[in-house]
Structure 1
């Protein structure tokens, strides 16, 4: 028995040595390094530059024009990251040259000469200061945020007018004003950390300054004789100022990750974190309302449908935390949205029956929005979105009216362009195809703010042997509208979408 036991022990030892030698010949899997994480907490300073603009509406003078230009400046702020959530406060100052102007000449030449009036106005934003709170989600080097606060602007306005009356008199005015106005501001953007100190960012801001009565003061002359200075109180509306900015930040102090609240990892499946760029197309329809042509006795007047195709590009950034996805997106689309209406009715001024044709078109449409959603399964993301829409539109009108007496004819033709702004709400779904590609379908509802605008044109009166033609500026037209957009698109993600993930190390 003793010999047998020794033999069994020797065999067991030999088997163990053999297994150990075999195991030594096998490759050993190295322990996976932890995924690096970047913490956004701390104080930072930085610089920015951008471009912006919006409509300036001089209500009483019926002058409406877009102002555009560049801005640049610096910012300082502080962030605190708790898990994947980041909260912060930012103070920003900008030099700006956002300006615009318009000149209108009204009056006539011919047997019905009534004189001419040339009026021009100019508005300029010279500087801006903004204080906002920021909140968003971070995933390692990406930080996607929304912001809200107050913006103040230093502005300069000027007005010039020259009146040549039917009796040979000339009155010239030159008025100026400076003012500071402030308003709520909202925005969203994305920031990417290049290393532990430096980061770059891009963001969109919306500022609604509303209407403010501005006192303009200056001299006037009558036939070259200087008159005492006088004051005119002019309501100037700036309902929507849009700003696009890019910048760089430098973080002060340490950037260690808080061990108590580590970032939340994405749920199993497709990780949507990263930047994307894509193309989309679709169809839209909506309703236009033009206040100048609304007749209470004729329901439906001044209101007509808009419809047509649209297509363009989109891009943005997503950040995923668990099953939750937060992102920002910018879109630019060319459109074939068109609509019009024909009206007829008696004209109390000339006594005939006037036939009027109204037409509107949307040349391009831009949307800046924030998206929030969740992943359903391995590849599908369902989201809602909200943001701001900007549209460049053309509005036109033409009227033909036979004169009852003398067989004459009155014709009028007007047209003008305006930048319209509105609110966007939408829902959609995006599906990861794998690799770097995804497809999406989306519905957006847009409610445009009623935009004041003046369409200059020409009025021609042909009364028998006498003909008179002059420039006109019809009364202020408040244009409001709604739009419904259905879109399909494809996106390329700069971080590959791995599809279904079965394990994480």
Structure 2
């Protein structure tokens, strides 16, 4: 049986895209050529972010759900929306505050599976349909960042309370006439740490638009599922399944609008710090990039103790895509947020042979893995060197959609039977990304950059579905779904790119005659 489920969308890149094509265009237009004898452009008004605000938001989220007892591992995705209220205080270019947010959500996933024998050795079939849905959440987080003119770039951290629903519909029919059905469900509440980053743009003294990426670590919890069950048609009242469910990574991307209450005025005691002379990096940007990635992948589940190095192999290949974000400069210091989305040809595999003493057979195994796309949401911090060079470091969260397959053939020595397995599975992997790079302003709106990133992926299981075949005097075939394959990996990325900045990178804007 083949599972078809669209992987989690490109969550981090929406952060950069949502702000780059909105209010930033207002500033870009103001820097265009001015007709003959036009007066000099006035400086954009400085906005103070201090005060109480309230607003609304909408977005999209997703992540992996792993049922440890059952071997179900599937992605969940969906929309969310709600409101927020908070307070900021700006001192010079530094802004810090506290925000309370509530969201309704429908982030759901499912994985229908049919396993069992269908040939000579008919043992029965098992039909499963697990489902999970994130219904809503409340978050309380602190925010801190830098502001320059209309832009505010921030990082945040706090706690999230999350409400979820899990259910399982199961039907078993074995070869001896035994049947079992159950339809169980349960509610789940978890408190999870939250980290995030984002950018906000002031339309005027009161209204602003924002975009934000958040990461929630929901960890593992045992959830009691109760409901109706029958055994050979006899009802079993009070039937309960205690399922241990892991959700290490939930990714959220949100856009919204805020309204600041009361009068707003720039604090005369602590005015914002102006950028040093030369290139001013404040503003939104969008670009393209390409490069090469390589690393190591570990699938120790398939390691053969008689074959050194089995289950571990190299990954390598090209990558290319788009990036975008927002920078804010205070003096020579630059703080920014960035989202990246890259298609990749990073792949790898391994072929090895071993011996199975339990069945007295020779086993030939072929493992392959492919990274289809890779996204990174990160915060950047750096310094301006000279007039045109920005040197920076970065850290954030990486998300990758990957496919893993296994093809094994075992030939028994005692009888002319051949036992083969062909399975494949897909999972969304989450990791920690750190990096460093340099960007050089070419003049006007353009810059070029070079960057190195290291990504350490968290261990992630996936359910690989496929077919088991026995060829010989007593042929048999059946669907299988082993959910025990756990993947660990790390990656090294080298990238070159070109960025377009919606605010010109010159140190000052003057009229032309």
Q: TM-score, normalised by structure 2?
A: 0.90
- Does the 8 A contact of 1:270 with 1:501 survive in 2? no
Looking at structure 1, the residues matched to 58 and 374 of structure 2 have their Cα atoms a distance apart, in angstroms, of 23
Are 1:450 and 2:428 matched, yes or no?
no
Are 1:257 and 2:269 matched, yes or no?
no
Residue in 2 that maps onto 1:200? 209
Residue in 2 that maps onto 1:476? 484
The 10-residue stretch of structure 1 (68-77 or 467-476) with the greater mean CA deviation from structure 2: 467-476
Looking at structure 2, the residues matched to 493 and 388 of structure 1 have their Cα atoms a distance apart, in angstroms, of 24
How far did residue 35 of structure 1 move?
5.9
- Does the 8 A contact of 2:41 with 2:509 survive in 1? no
Residue in 2 that maps onto 1:178? 187
Are 1:300 and 2:309 matched, yes or no?
yes
Residue in 2 that maps onto 1:4? none
Looking at structure 1, the residues matched to 43 and 223 of structure 2 have their Cα atoms a distance apart, in angstroms, of 60
2:496 to 479, 483, 488: 488
Looking at structure 1, the residues matched to 392 and 119 of structure 2 have their Cα atoms a distance apart, in angstroms, of 63
Q: Which runs of 5+ in 1 are unaligned?
A: 1-29
Task: Please say which structure displays the higher CA radius of gyration.
Answer: 1
How far did residue 233 of structure 1 move?
1.4
Residue in 2 that maps onto 1:20? none
Are 1:338 and 2:347 matched, yes or no?
yes
Residue in 1 that maps onto 2:408? 399
Residue in 2 that maps onto 1:106? 115
For the structure 1 residues 126 and 160, does the alpha-carbon distance in structure 2 shift closer, same or farther, using more than 3 Å as the test?
same
For the structure 1 residues 197 and 164, does the alpha-carbon distance in structure 2 shift closer, same or farther, using more than 3 Å as the test?
same
- Does the 8 A contact of 1:435 with 1:499 survive in 2? no
The 10-residue stretch of structure 1 (373-382 or 402-411) with the greater mean CA deviation from structure 2: 402-411
How far did residue 38 of structure 1 move?
0.7
Are 1:87 and 2:96 matched, yes or no?
yes
- State the SS of the aligned residue for 1:292: helix
Looking at structure 2, the residues matched to 285 and 110 of structure 1 have their Cα atoms a distance apart, in angstroms, of 43
Are 1:76 and 2:85 matched, yes or no?
yes
Looking at structure 1, the residues matched to 320 and 68 of structure 2 have their Cα atoms a distance apart, in angstroms, of 35
Looking at structure 1, the residues matched to 267 and 306 of structure 2 have their Cα atoms a distance apart, in angstroms, of 69
The 10-residue stretch of structure 1 (468-477 or 37-46) with the greater mean CA deviation from structure 2: 468-477
For the structure 1 residues 481 and 31, does the alpha-carbon distance in structure 2 shift closer, same or farther, using more than 3 Å as the test?
closer
For the structure 1 residues 79 and 408, does the alpha-carbon distance in structure 2 shift closer, same or farther, using more than 3 Å as the test?
same
Looking at structure 2, the residues matched to 136 and 291 of structure 1 have their Cα atoms a distance apart, in angstroms, of 42
For the structure 1 residues 499 and 81, does the alpha-carbon distance in structure 2 shift closer, same or farther, using more than 3 Å as the test?
closer
**1:220-273 alpha-carbon deviations (Å, 9 max, x no partner):** 112322112222211100000000000000010111000000000001110000
Higher relative contact order (CA 8 A, sep 6+): 2
- Does the 8 A contact of 1:114 with 1:165 survive in 2? yes
Are 1:158 and 2:171 matched, yes or no?
no
- Does the 8 A contact of 2:461 with 2:483 survive in 1? no
- Does the 8 A contact of 1:190 with 1:201 survive in 2? yes
Residue in 2 that maps onto 1:3? none
Residue in 2 that maps onto 1:130? 139
**1:83-135 alpha-carbon deviations (Å, 9 max, x no partner):** 00000100000000000001222110122111111122100000011010000
Residue in 2 that maps onto 1:497? 505
Residue in 2 that maps onto 1:118? 127
**1:297-318 alpha-carbon deviations (Å, 9 max, x no partner):** 4331110000000000000000
Q: TM-score, normalised by structure 1?
A: 0.91
How far did residue 180 of structure 1 move?
0.9
Residue in 1 that maps onto 2:224? 215
How far did residue 501 of structure 1 move?
9.5
The 10-residue stretch of structure 1 (163-172 or 197-206) with the greater mean CA deviation from structure 2: 163-172
Residue in 2 that maps onto 1:428? 437
- State the SS of the aligned residue for 2:163: strand
Residue in 2 that maps onto 1:360? 369
How far did residue 403 of structure 1 move?
2.5
How far did residue 405 of structure 1 move?
3.6
**1:334-390 alpha-carbon deviations (Å, 9 max, x no partner):** 000010011211123432101010000000000000000000000000000000000
Q: Which runs of 5+ in 2 are unaligned?
A: 1-38
- State the SS of the aligned residue for 2:301: helix
For the structure 1 residues 32 and 411, does the alpha-carbon distance in structure 2 shift closer, same or farther, using more than 3 Å as the test?
closer
Q: Which has the higher strand share?
A: 1
Residue in 1 that maps onto 2:338? 329
1:462 to 454, 463, 471: 471
